Amino acid sequence: MRTDEVRDLYDRTMREHARPEGPGVEVERAGPLVRQVGGPDDWNGIVWSGPELDAGEADAAIRAQIEHYTALGHAEFEWKLYSHDRPADLGDRLRAAGFLPDPPETLLVAPVEALTSLPGAGLPEGVALRPVTDAAGAELMALAHERAFGTDAGRLRHQVLTRLERAPDDFVALVAMAGGEPVSSARMELYPGTGFAGLWGGGTVAEWRGRGLYRALVAHRASVAAERGYRYLQVDATDMSAPILTRLGFVALGTTTPYVYRPAR
């Protein structure tokens, strides 16, 4: 896999020509920028800043986005900055404008066919995967998320239910069940026409970690992606998941840092 070619393909298809992440959201072009705009429970933010965004225009472009999202009444929005974006000091400019960076993540990609038959990807004894297809499944998924990460799953619940209702063919969600209890969950977003499918979630409750659930969920989603003709799996990986994914065969294309703007109240 030529990482430079794959990164260029990712930039072109997933960012510059981004499609709405879900129903009820819109992708808009604002000069050299591409942004997504949706409701309060959707992801709102800048997905692409083209190479034509130079140092002389960057500050004005940042102010324009603050004005745009603030006028819409959003409590916050994000500028998704990649390590190869320009100008080189864009992160400093975002901080000066009031954005706060969340921890950086590693942009990882792997060919789908390399992940469909991972060694040791079987489920632990007593665990079964349940496809999420209805509200009851979404509730189990939310519970697994809250138990794994200790954070509220309200936004996740909304996003899953919306996807199941309006665009189920481009979305895969799973819950791992053990003894009637949800112990892990994961989802996959399919992006038609791009060749990429995105892996999200993968959180496992503490007492079930280290038993191969994460690996099994990756392999299962890779098999689904392969059946539907996708070439690559993509992950924005935290420091916790990046080493695991690298061992499974994912390759880093760079890093991405979420810069979050929260208007003063």
pLDDT at 194 (0 to 100)? 96
pLDDT at 147 (0 to 100)? 95
Query: Tens of pLDDT along 59-113?
Result: 999 999 999 999 999 989 999 999 999 999 999 999 999 999 999 999 999 999 9
Instruction: Find how far residue 222's CA is from the centre of its chain.
Output: 16
pLDDT at 80 (0 to 100)? 98
Q: In this structure, are residues 105 and 236 in contact, taking their beta carbons and an 8 Å threshold?
A: yes
Handedness of CA 211, 217, 218, 220 (dihedral sign): positive
Is the pTM higher than 0.85? The answer reads yes
The angle that helices 135-149 and 154-166 make with each other, rounded to 10 degrees, is: 150
Query: Tens of pLDDT along 251-264?
Result: 999 999 999 999 87
pLDDT at 121 (0 to 100)? 82
Q: What distance in Å separates the CA atoms of residue 234 and residue 254, rounded to the nearest whole number?
A: 12
Q: Which ranges of the chain have pLDDT less than 70?
A: 265
pLDDT at 249 (0 to 100)? 94
